[in-house]
């Protein structure tokens, strides 16, 4: 028997209905903030994906690489940011800010494990052409709105700034060439913990500097408070000062969106990809059983120039669709049917088939998802199918019903029956269709 390739999955209707609910919600919120859709190919030139500084460096070994039959070197995209940056580079005519969203699959040849797949979906918004932190904030706000609309109540936004991190490196006087290694170690904080991070850092730089750095990084407290303290400690360094001022502005302006109390400053936040240049952020949701980062992003002002475009500031955020799905599933947050079909028009007698089809067509015409028998089954078999397919409503079509023009509708979940004429059915049920 053929299986899906390792690390990939099929999504049967019962799962797809939930995934569609997520993606539709995401799309609506993205569009409500004025983001327009963009689509790019599934694969890109290998040189684009593997370019140093594009984020490709650290996940180069995870890219699905192949050659086409003309020996072109290609790779499946590993995120949606790199293709978008290419699009902007080759399309300088696009009005700025260019606000685009993209929802789609990406591939990484990672070791498959619980909740990690080799093919997975991301949903991104990016604002290109805006240098102001208002753009960064808007990206955060959009994603918070997505989470609210999906039903999450508790979430937090962790915020840092690559400028602050770079400033710390300068301030503590760590050689600049060490900073990628230092960031890589800091990035593992959640995974390996304080103690091991300290140990690893000490293998790279001298102990005193490690202690100094960790003191700067470990400051905790209310955003305004720790930003003020950090400014006192670091403000003499220009890079750090600018970064801290940006963070202050974000915290301040978050108030108008009503999300200021969800923001935490976390100087240990690094985010792996090396293309970030300014504010970086990560959103976590807190539920009964789960706490975890579900979205993250940041500013990457140099990426578009790296691909041959004009220097163009940009910022964006990416939602991990698989993570959201798993949490919503674990928390039983989905309230969705197992099929999109709403009605089954049951033909009591095969010779009335035409009548059943005509009624089905009327329901379909007003947008009510409807099935009718296509297998010449008798009434009992049709009902068995309705039950196994979990179709919620049945309308019975027999001689009597056609004569009286009144039809029995059975709610298959609670067994209730009602008698109605077709016009009433259309009116009542077209309003019941779940937003689709």
- Name which of residues 365 to 394 contact a second copy (CB under 8 A): 365, 367-371, 373-376, 385, 388-389
Residue 176 CA to residue 168 CA, distance in Å, equals 11
Give, as ranges, the residues between 398 and 427 that touch a second copy (CB under 8 A): none
Instruction: Give exposure, 50-64, as e/b (b: 16+ Cβ within 10 Å).
Output: bbeebbbeebbeebb
Pairing state of beta strands 314-320 and 370-372? unpaired
- CA-closest candidate to residue 123, choices 137, 136, 138, 142: 142
- CA-closest candidate to residue 414, choices 393, 384, 433, 430: 393
Helix 189-204 / helix 207-217 crossing angle, nearest 10 deg: 150
Question: 264 vs 126, 227, 259, 281, CA distance in Å?
Answer: 22, 11, 11, 10
From 22, 26, 48, 294, residue interacting with a second copy (rule: CB under 8 A):
48
Q: Which is nearer to a second copy, 15 or 399 (CB)?
A: 15
Nearest distance from C-beta of residue 186 to a second copy, angstroms: 28
Residue 381 CA to residue 379 CA, distance in Å, equals 6
Tell whether residue 293 is a contact of a second copy (CB under 8 A). Answer: no
x-or-dash string of contact with a second copy, 118-147, rule CB under 8 A: -x-------x-xxxx-xx--x------x--
Tell whether residue 76 is a contact of a second copy (CB under 8 A). Answer: yes
From 22, 25, 26, 38, residue interacting with a second copy (rule: CB under 8 A):
38
From 81, 100, 197, 239, residue interacting with a second copy (rule: CB under 8 A):
100
- Interface region with a second copy, contact rule CB under 8 A, candidates 167-175, 326-334, 354-362, 404-412: 354-362
Helix 179-186 / helix 162-172 crossing angle, nearest 10 deg: 120
Tell whether residue 60 is a contact of a second copy (CB under 8 A). Answer: no
- Interface region with a second copy, contact rule CB under 8 A, candidates 213-221, 241-249, 267-275, 305-313: 305-313
Nearest distance from C-beta of residue 159 to a second copy, angstroms: 17
- Interface region with a second copy, contact rule CB under 8 A, candidates 80-88, 187-195, 222-230, 293-301: 80-88
Residue 253 CA to residue 130 CA, distance in Å, equals 16
Tell whether residue 336 is a contact of a second copy (CB under 8 A). Answer: no
- CA-closest candidate to residue 148, choices 226, 10, 266, 257: 257
Nearest distance from C-beta of residue 177 to a second copy, angstroms: 28
Give, as ranges, the residues between 8 and 37 that touch a second copy (CB under 8 A): 8-13, 16-17, 19-20, 28, 31-37
- CA-closest candidate to residue 123, choices 20, 269, 254: 20
Give, as ranges, the residues between 230 and 259 that touch a second copy (CB under 8 A): 256-257
Q: Which is nearer to a second copy, 85 or 270 (CB)?
A: 85
Q: Which is nearer to a second copy, 42 or 181 (CB)?
A: 42
Pairing state of beta strands 279-286 and 291-299? antiparallel
């Amino acid at each position: 028997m053929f299986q899906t390739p390792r690390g990939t999955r099929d999504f049967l209707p019962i799962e797809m209905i939930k995934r569609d609910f997520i993606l539709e919600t995401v799309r609506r919120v993205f569009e409500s903030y004025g983001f327009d859709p963009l689509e790019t190919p599934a694969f890109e030139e290998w040189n684009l994906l593997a370019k140093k500084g594009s984020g490709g460096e650290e996940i180069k070994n995870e890219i699905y690489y192949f050659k086409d039959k003309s020996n072109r070197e290609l790779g499946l995209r590993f995120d949606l940011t790199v293709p978008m940056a290419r699009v902007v580079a080759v399309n300088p005519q696009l009005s700025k800010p260019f606000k685009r969203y993209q929802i789609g699959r990406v591939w990484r040849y990672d070791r498959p494990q619980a909740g990690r797949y080799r093919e997975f979906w991301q949903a991104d918004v990016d604002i290109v052409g805006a240098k102001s932190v208002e753009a960064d904030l808007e990206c955060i706000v959009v994603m918070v709105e997505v989470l609210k609309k999906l039903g999450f109540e508790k979430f937090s936004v962790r915020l840092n700034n690559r400028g602050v991190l770079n400033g710390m490196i300068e301030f503590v006087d760590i050689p600049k060439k060490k900073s990628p290694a230092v960031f890589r170690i800091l990035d593992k904080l959640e995974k390996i913990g304080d103690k091991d991070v300290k140990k690893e850092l000490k293998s790279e730089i001298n102990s005193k500097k490690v202690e100094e750095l960790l003191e700067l990084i470990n400051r905790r407290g209310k955003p305004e408070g720790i930003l003020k303290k950090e400014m006192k400690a670091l403000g003499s360094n220009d890079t750090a000062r600018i970064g801290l001022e940006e963070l202050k502005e974000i915290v301040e302006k978050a108030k108008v969106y009503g999300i200021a109390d969800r923001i935490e400053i976390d100087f240990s936040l690094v985010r792996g990809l090396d293309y970030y240049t300014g504010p970086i952020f990560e959103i976590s949701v807190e539920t009964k059983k789960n706490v975890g980062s579900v979205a993250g992003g940041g500013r990457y002002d140099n990426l578009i120039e790296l691909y041959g475009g004009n220097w163009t500031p940009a910022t964006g955020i990416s939602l991990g669709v698989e993570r959201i799905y798993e949490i919503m599933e674990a928390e039983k947050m989905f309230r969705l049917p197992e099929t999109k079909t709403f009605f089954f028009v049951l033909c009591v007698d095969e010779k009335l088939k035409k009548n059943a089809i005509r009624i089905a067509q009327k329901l379909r015409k007003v947008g009510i998802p409807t099935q009718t028998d296509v297998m010449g089954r008798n009434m009992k078999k049709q009902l068995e199918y309705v039950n196994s397919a979990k179709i919620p409503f049945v309308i019975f079509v027999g001689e009597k019903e056609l004569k009286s023009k009144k039809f029995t509708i059975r709610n298959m979940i609670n067994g209730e029956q009602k008698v109605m004429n077709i016009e009433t059915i259309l009116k009542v049920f077209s309003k019941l269709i779940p937003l689709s």
